[in-house]
Amino acid sequence: MLRIGLTGGIGSGKSTVAKLLVERGAVLIDADRIAREVVAPGTPGLAAVVDAFGDGVLTADGALDRPALAALVFADPQARARLDALVHPLVRARSAELLAEVPDGAVVVNDVPLLVETGQAASYDLVLVVEADTETRVARLVGRGLTEDDARARIGAQATDEQRRAVADVVLDNTGTPEELAAQVDRFWVERVEPARG
Ligand code: ADP
């Protein structure tokens, strides 16, 4: 098995690269998706979060109210640490379960937005970083429905390009067209993935 850790700032094009890698045969493990699944309605994860933070973090229909929870932990590092201590083990356990189901010899891509921030680079055979300059990312995020202020705040709260580059084995430049990105993914596959699979 070859494990690729895929990361990049919000709006850089991680999901797009993940999709291209899946088209070439990789198996995707999506950290954001797992983080949502472990606190979905009816899960022990959601019950634990409500236990710790109260009914105020639920929407009227009993789902996790993410903006309410985010507001709670934003200004309170201890609350953030308590939340992480609840959710991270569940995410790790679910990721391990999914990994155990992957066939021998597979190329596994973990899409991990906060790979650098959470110090996980050493967990992967290859760390693949997607980059695009801030203005391009803001424009793409606004295209995806965020306000410009929100887009800039989220970008500002993440690691810098320099921090991500410091742990990258390969950097893809996604300031160009989708076709240019696909060509770089093809090159990555031929030059780094296929040789590493043996
Ligand atoms: P991330 O997963 O890193 O947040 P996405 O892959 O979702 O980023 O890309 C952010 C947005 O930009 C999406 O709407 C996506 O379709 C678009 N996008 C990605 N790459 C390009 C590109 N090269 N040219 C134009 N739009 C792009």
Report whether CATH 3.40.50.300 matches the domain 32-103: yes
- Number of other residues whose CB lies within 10 A of the CB of residue 63: 15
Provide the pLDDT for residue 176.
96
Q: Decide if pLDDT at 62 tops 80.
A: yes
> Which ranges in the chain are annotated with CATH 3.40.50.300?
1-26+106-198, 32-103
User: How far apart, in whole angstroms, are the C-alpha atoms of residue 32 and residue 113?
Assistant: 8
Q: Decide if pLDDT at 9 tops 90.
A: yes
pTM, rounded to two decimals: 0.90
Q: Decide if pLDDT at 198 tops 90.
A: no
Nearest to 110 by CA among 190, 198, 41, 34: 34
Provide the pLDDT for residue 3.
96
Query: CB neighbours of 66 closer than 8 A, spacing ≥ 6?
Result: none
- Measured from CB, residues less than 6 Å from any atom of ligand 1 are 8, 10-16, 140, 143-144, 174, 177-178, 181
Provide the pLDDT for residue 166.
97
Q: Whose CA is nearest to atom 18 of ligand 1?
A: 13
* Average pLDDT over the chain, rounded to an integer: 95
Q: Whose CA is nearest to atom 22 of ligand 1?
A: 178
Q: How confident is the model at residue 197 (pLDDT cuts 50, 70, 90)?
A: confident
Q: Whose CA is nearest to atom 17 of ligand 1?
A: 140
- Number of other residues whose CB lies within 10 A of the CB of residue 126: 18
Provide the pLDDT for residue 102.
95
CATH, domain 1-26+106-198, list 3.40.50.300, 3.20.20.70, 3.40.50.720, 2.160.10.10: 3.40.50.300
Q: Decide if pLDDT at 118 tops 90.
A: no
How many angstroms separate the alpha carbon of residue 125 from the centre of ligand 1?
A: 25
How many angstroms separate the alpha carbon of residue 140 from the centre of ligand 1?
A: 6
Provide the pLDDT for residue 105.
92
25-46 pLDDT tens trace? 999 999 999 999 999 999 999 9
Which of 4-8, 69-73, 124-128, 190-194 shows the lowest mean pLDDT across its residues?
69-73
